Amino acid sequence: MIPTEILELLISIGYIVLGYLIGMAFAGSFLGRKYMGLMDILLHRVFRRRVTVTQYLYWKYFCGIGNPPKPENLKKLEGRLKQVESLLTGLLALASSLGER
């Protein structure tokens, strides 16, 4: 059997969490999307939740956050895109130098 003090502590913690979540919902309606997006990012970092592409797009374009955390698969894709971009830049520079001759 759970002692009464521990049960009261768990109920109090539950009330605190519930009050926080309800307060966040009301704060979001008054303070706006950017604030809610920032709090969502904070909670993802605190609880070490995995970021999905959907959440990244929501934070970036709906909430208007400048540099939200990126999901792992998007980070890998971004690295590959930089490689392709540098390759294309080099090829264009080579083609323009050959065209000038």
Residues whose CB is less than 8 angstroms from the CB of residue 68 and which lie 6 or more positions away in sequence, other chains included: 37, 41, 56, 59, 60
**Which tens digits make up the pLDDT trace of 38-69?**
888 988 888 888 998 889 888 888 888 888 99
| 26/22 Cα distance (integer angstroms) | 6
| End-to-end Cα separation, the chain, in angstroms | 89
**pLDDT tens for residues 4-45?**
999 999 999 999 999 888 887 777 666 778 888 888 898 888
CA 50 to chain centroid, in Å, comes to 9
Q: What is the pLDDT of residues 70-100, one digit of tens each?
A: 888 888 887 787 888 888 888 888 888 887 6
Which pTM does this prediction carry?
0.54
Residue holding tokens 């971009």?
85
Could you tell me where the beta strands, DSSP code E, fall in the chain? none
